[in-house]
Structure 1
Amino acid sequence: MLKKIGRLFVIKTRFEACLIIYALAVGAMARGLAYLDQYPGFGGQLLMAACSGAVFLAGAKIFDCLRYEQAARASEPADA
C-alpha cells in the first residue's frame, strides 16, 4: 500500500515536471514580491532575482534527472 502511495510522488513525464516547476515559480515569485515589500531598493531586487534563479536551477535539475531516469529505464533488460 505504501508503494502505491509513494508512486504518486514520482515525476514520470516532462509534463509533470513542467507542472511542478510552474508551481515552484509561482511560489518563488510570491516570495520575491514579499521581499520587495520588506526590503525596498536594491536589496529586495537582489533577493527577488535569487528567488527566480533558484527556480531556474531547480527546473534544470528536474529535467536532467528525468532524462537520466528515462535513459536508465530504457537500458534495463525487459523481464519476460
Structure 2
Amino acid sequence: MWIRIKRLFVIKTRFEACLIIYALAVGAMERGKDYVAQFPGVGGYLLCMACTGAVFMAGAMIFDALAAKRARSAVVAHHP
C-alpha cells in the first residue's frame, strides 16, 4: 500500500514536470509580488528576480533528473 502512495509523488513524464514547474512559478511570483510590496524599490525587485531564478534552476534540475532517469532505464533495458 505504501508503494502505491509513494508512486504518486514520483515525476514520471515531462508533462508532470511541466505542471510542477508551473506550480512553482506561480508560487514564486506570488512571493515576488509580496517582496515588491514589502520592500519598494530595487531591493524588492531583486528579491522578486531571485524567486524567479530559483524556479528556473529547479526546473532545469527536474528536467535533467528526468533525462538521467530515462537514460539509466534505457541502459538497464538493453543490458543483458
TM band (smaller chain): over 0.9
CA deviations over 1:15-57 (Å, ceiling 9, x no partner): 0000000000000000000000000000000000000000000
Measure the CA separation in 1 of the matches of 2:70 and 2:62: 12
Between the two proteins, the alignment pairs up a number of residues equal to: 78
Measure the CA separation in 1 of the matches of 2:8 and 2:69: 16
Aligned CA-pair RMSD:
0.9
- Which letter maps to 1:32? G
1:72 paired to 2:68:
no
* Alpha-carbon shift at residue 69 of structure 1 (Å): 0.3
5+ long unaligned stretches in structure 2: none
Secondary structure class of the residue paired with 1:9: coil
Of all paired residues, the percent bearing the same amino acid is 64
Measure the CA separation in 1 of the matches of 2:19 and 2:2: 24
Runs of 4+ in 1 over 2 A off after TM superposition: none
TM-score relative to the length of structure 2: 0.95
